[in-house]
């Protein structure tokens, strides 16, 4: 007689799959086998709850993205690994969600540590509070508050982790993170999001890990803009320091694309977002292109990933990454670029050069240093600067040359 798998069965099966792909420290693996995700997302069937996917818990009436999500479990595990919370640590979480991540953090810091989680939405904060009470983590502090303000009353913190996308690091977090403490956050620049693990040294944060991720953006930061083109079938997502004039660029998409092809192939399961990260360390023209279903169906746009593909934009011209499986060896795709506008061919060629540079050094990742705006410090040799409102980011790719401001 067949019996349905229990929550414990499914939870252990999920953790088994996660550690097979990414081995975890024993303590993090044990926490993920202990905390019951199904008790933090009630009303969802067990198979869905213990799949490696995000689960929406509150819709956003003002936008397409949910207001709050239960994050993808493998991403939760990755970020906990980056954070390295230890017994006795005082931890701040920004973005309470379902309370699941706070429960995991509580397991990691133990009875001698403490976890504070904050959320700007009263309904989400209440949900997290009730779930934590229900699951035996009533000692976790839940605060309804703008996460950009942190929680000074319970600081300073050994660790701060954000479960929402940040475009910049808020000033309050600098004062609330201990010197030598670690900050892990989904940091957004040039259209991409990376989970950055950073250690504070005075007025400087230095990275030792940059992992691909995606999170709902925090409320209250406006450094990212969206420019709509070609009858809103093409959207460019870019930073406020990237000056994109739609009146100049829109006509470019009326013409035919000019294609250029690199010498770089990727396997069908191999990610190529590393090229995006590489290119942001050398070129200020990088942004994200998104095309609508209408544009795809008409066959007039075909970026590598319709909703998030790296692009170069310069004045009245643009180019974005494409791929073609018919031009590559079996099981692979050849990467290239499609250019639009008077200088589209040049931009497409430049993009293929970036692709080839990454293709030759796929394991080479830039380091990230973030300076508090009050004390930016000296510019490192070879560093590429990106100025935010409150911080100065320096990306350093070994062997690169300065090209920032």
pLDDT in tens, 204-259: 999 999 999 988 888 899 899 999 999 999 999 999 999 999 999 999 998 889 99
Distance of alpha carbon 198 from alpha carbon 205, whole angstroms: 6
pTM of the model: 0.92
Q: Widest CA span of the chain, in angstroms?
A: 70
Within 187-325, residue ranges assigned H as helices are 246-249, 273-280, 293-297
Kindly report whether the peptide bond that precedes residue 352 is cis, defined as omega within 30 degrees of 0: no
Return the domain boundaries, the chain: 7-212, 224-360, 367-396
> Do residues 80 and 58 touch, judged by C-beta distance below 8 A?
no
Name residue 234's beta-bridge partners.
Answer: 229, 291
Catalytic positions, written as ranges:
71
**The domain 7-212 is classified under which CATH number: 3.40.50.10860, 1.25.40.80, 3.40.50.12280, 3.40.50.150?**
3.40.50.150
> What is the share, in percent, of the chain residues with pLDDT greater than 90?
80
Neighbours of 36 (CB within 10 A): 17
pLDDT in tens, 161-219: 999 999 999 999 999 999 999 999 999 999 999 999 999 999 999 999 999 998 888 88
Distance of alpha carbon 353 from alpha carbon 264, whole angstroms: 10
Distance of alpha carbon 361 from alpha carbon 134, whole angstroms: 49
Strands (DSSP E) along 126-176, which ranges?
141-144, 157-162
Burial of residue 27 (CB within 10 Å: 0-12, 13-18, 19+) is middle
List of residues 6+ apart from 176 with CB closer than 8 A: 92, 150, 151, 152, 155, 156, 157, 160
């Amino acid at each position: 007689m067949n019996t349905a798998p229990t929550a414990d069965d499914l939870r252990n099966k999920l953790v088994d799959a996660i550690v097979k792909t990414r081995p975890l420290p024993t303590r993090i693996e044990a926490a993920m086998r202990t905390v019951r995700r199904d008790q933090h997302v009630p009303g969802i069937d067990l198979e869905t709850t213990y799949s490696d996917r995000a689960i929406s818990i509150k819709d956003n009436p003002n936008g397409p993205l949910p207001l709050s999500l239960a994050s993808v479990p493998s991403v939760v595990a990755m970020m906990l690994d980056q954070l390295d919370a230890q017994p006795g640590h005082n931890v701040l979480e920004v973005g309470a969600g379902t309370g699941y991540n706070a429960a995991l953090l509580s397991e990691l810091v133990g009875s001698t540590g403490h976890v504070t989680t904050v959320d700007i939405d009263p309904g989400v904060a209440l949900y997290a509070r009730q779930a934590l009470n229900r699951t035996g983590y009533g000692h976790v502090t839940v605060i309804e508050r703008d996460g950009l303000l942190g929680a000074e009353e319970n600081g300073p913190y050994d660790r701060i982790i954000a479960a929402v996308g940040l475009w910049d690091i808020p000033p309050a977090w600098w004062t609330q993170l201990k010197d030598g403490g670690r900050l892990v956050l989904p940091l957004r620049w040039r259209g991409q999001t990376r989970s950055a693990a950073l250690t504070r040294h005075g007025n400087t944060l230095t990275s030792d890990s940059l992992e691909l991720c995606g999170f709902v953006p925090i409320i209250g930061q406006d450094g990212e803009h969206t420019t709509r083109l070609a009858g809103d079938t093409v959207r460019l997502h870019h930073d406020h320091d990237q000056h994109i004039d739609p009146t100049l660029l829109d006509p470019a998409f009326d013409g035919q694309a000019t294609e250029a092809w690199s010498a770089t192939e990727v396997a069908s399961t191999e990610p190529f977002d590393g090229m995006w990260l590489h290119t942001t360390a050398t070129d200020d023209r990088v942004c994200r292109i998104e095309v609508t279903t209408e544009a795809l169906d008409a066959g007039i746009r075909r970026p590598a990933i319709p909703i998030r593909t790296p692009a170069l934009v310069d004045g009245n011209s643009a180019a974005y990454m494409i791929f073609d499986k018919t031009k590559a060896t079996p099981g692979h795709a050849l990467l290239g670029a499609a250019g639009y506008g008077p200088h589209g061919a040049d931009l497409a060629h430049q993009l293929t050069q970036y692709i080839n540079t990454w293709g030759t050094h796929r394991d080479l990742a830039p380091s990230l240093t973030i300076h508090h705006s009050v004390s930016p410090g000296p510019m490192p040799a070879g560093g590429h600067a990106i100025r935010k409102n409150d911080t100065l980011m320096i990306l350093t790719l070994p062997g690169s040359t300065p090209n920032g401001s």
